[in-house]
């Protein structure tokens, strides 16, 4: 009889422990998401262009309790790799979570996008740009903490509410901003032209020093002819682009001008941020999205 009672007690304890572990396991994804969401809410509080001492204090104050000490130390050593607010506008508003999957015991991989907004976007429930981010969240000493955070390249978005009509009788959508801090719009929106000629690209020789270059490239499975003409002035380079592609038996072109400041003229951390932005800026995707929006009103 005593053995039966002990067995029943053991069975009850076992069932209770299994139930507790199962319940906790079910709650783990929710806790992981809460950490990521709180982290995303605090990104705007960390100014990446602040003096190093202020930046370090902002990282420790806002990310402590959400990020491992090792990752915080890495960001303090190399602030250029830290996530946060780069400019006054747009600013990181939150993280849009795309996927969450376990990668090991007490470890999850979270993929998402940092959503950056301007004051107008905040009012209209829109966004200025998105930046992919991948994180590893681990359970350490019974706390869920971000142990790895990899930032991707900014995505340029095309606001569908903005369009311009030209003499061609066509309209197209275009972004008001390129989401870039060190690249200025000089002649924008692009000028659209269309000619009754088949698409053809007269490529120039591959000589880097030519002031005008013409190259052919494939963007989103479509052939483009890209002509760029550059000239320097007061520490900057002004480049006029002409992107052309086929539309039926005709050729359609977009012409615009951008200003690129010389990154080496900046002091740190602006110099590093400028070079990083320049290397990751995807102008081709912007123009391909504009071309895809061309239509009759």
User: What DSSP letter does each residue of 125-189 carry, written as one string?
Assistant: T--SEEEEEEEEEEEETTEEEEEEEEE-PPEE---TT-EEE-TTS-EEE--S--S-SS-EEEEEE
Domain match, 245 and 163 both: yes
The predicted pLDDT at position 156 comes to 59
Q: Which residues pair with 239 in a beta bridge?
A: 230, 258
Q: Is the peptide bond before 155 cis (omega within 30 degrees of 0)?
A: no
Contact status, residue 257 vs residue 240, Cβ threshold 8 Å? yes
Q: Exposure pattern of 170-206 as b/e (b: 16+ CB <10 Å)? A: bebbbbeebbbebbebeebbbebebeeeebebeeeee
The predicted pLDDT at position 256 comes to 95
- The better pLDDT of the pair 5, 90 is held by 90
- Give the range of the structural domain holding residue 171, as residue numbers without chain letter: 158-293
The predicted pLDDT at position 77 comes to 87
Summarize the confidence of residues 240-245 as an average pLDDT.
96
Summarize the confidence of residues 106-124 as an average pLDDT.
76
- The better pLDDT of the pair 221, 297 is held by 221
CA torsion 10-15-20-23 (nearest 10°) is 170
In CATH, what number is assigned to the domain containing residue 252?
Answer: 2.60.120
Q: Which percentage of the chain shows pLDDT scores above 90?
A: 36
Of the residues 107, 123, 152, the one at which a domain ends: 152
Rounded to whole angstroms, how far apart are CA atoms 79 and 49? Answer: 9
Domain match, 183 and 287 both: yes
User: How many structural domains does the chain have?
Assistant: 2
Domain match, 188 and 253 both: yes
Listed range (43-47, 86-90, 267-271) with the worst mean pLDDT: 86-90
The predicted pLDDT at position 20 comes to 46
Q: How far is CA 209 from CA 80, 90, 181, 212, 230, in A?
A: 31, 35, 26, 9, 10
Q: Is the peptide bond before 141 cis (omega within 30 degrees of 0)?
A: no
**Residue 272: band (very low, low, confident or very high) from pLDDT cuts 50, 70, 90:** confident
Summarize the confidence of residues 55-84 as an average pLDDT.
91
Domain match, 124 and 139 both: yes
> Could you read off the pLDDT of 173-192 as tens digits, one per residue?
787 777 778 898 899 889 99
Sequence length of the chain is 297
Q: Which percentage of the chain shows pLDDT scores above 70?
A: 79
Summarize the confidence of residues 254-280 as an average pLDDT.
89
The predicted pLDDT at position 78 comes to 84
Q: Exposure pattern of 49-68 as b/e (b: 16+ CB <10 Å)? A: bbeeeebbebbbebbeebbb
The predicted pLDDT at position 127 comes to 61
Domain match, 17 and 144 both: yes
- The better pLDDT of the pair 1, 78 is held by 78
- The better pLDDT of the pair 107, 219 is held by 107
Domain match, 216 and 268 both: yes
Domain match, 190 and 145 both: no
Check whether 86 has a pLDDT greater than 90: no
Of the residues 128, 152, 176, the one at which a domain ends: 152
> Could you read off the pLDDT of 150-159 as tens digits, one per residue?
988 776 555 5
């Amino acid at each position: 009889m005593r053995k039966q009672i002990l067995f029943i007690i053991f069975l009850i304890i076992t069932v209770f422990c299994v139930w507790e572990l199962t319940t906790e396991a079910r709650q783990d994804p929710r806790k992981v998401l809460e950490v990521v969401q709180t982290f995303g809410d605090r990104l705007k509080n960390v100014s990446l262009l602040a003096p190093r001492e202020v930046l370090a204090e902002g990282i420790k104050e806002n990310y402590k309790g959400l990020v491992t000490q090792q990752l915080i130390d890495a960001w303090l050593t190399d602030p250029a790799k830290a996530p946060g607010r780069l400019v006054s506008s747009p600013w990181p508003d939150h993280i849009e979570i795309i996927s969450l999957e376990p990668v090991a015991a007490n470890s999850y991989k979270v993929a998402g996008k940092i959503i950056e907004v301007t004051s107008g976007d905040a009012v209209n429930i829109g966004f200025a740009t998105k930046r992919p981010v991948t994180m590893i969240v681990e359970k350490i000493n019974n706390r869920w903490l971000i142990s790895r955070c990899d930032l991707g390249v900014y995505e340029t978005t095309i606001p569908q509410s903005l369009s311009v009509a030209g003499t061609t009788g066509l309209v197209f959508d275009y972004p008001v901003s390129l989401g870039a801090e060190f690249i200025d719009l000089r002649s924008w929106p692009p000028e659209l032209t269309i000619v009754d000629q088949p698409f053809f690209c007269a490529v120039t020789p591959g000589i880097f020093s030519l002031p005008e270059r013409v190259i052919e490239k494939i963007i989103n499975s479509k052939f483009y002819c890209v002509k760029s003409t550059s000239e320097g002035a007061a520490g900057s380079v002004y480049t006029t682009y002409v992107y052309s592609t086929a539309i039926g038996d005709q050729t359609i072109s977009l012409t615009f001008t951008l200003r690129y400041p010389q990154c080496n003229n900046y002091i740190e951390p602006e110099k590093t941020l400028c070079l990083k932005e320049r290397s990751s800026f995807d102008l081709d995707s912007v123009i391909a999205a504009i071309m895809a929006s061309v239509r009759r009103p």
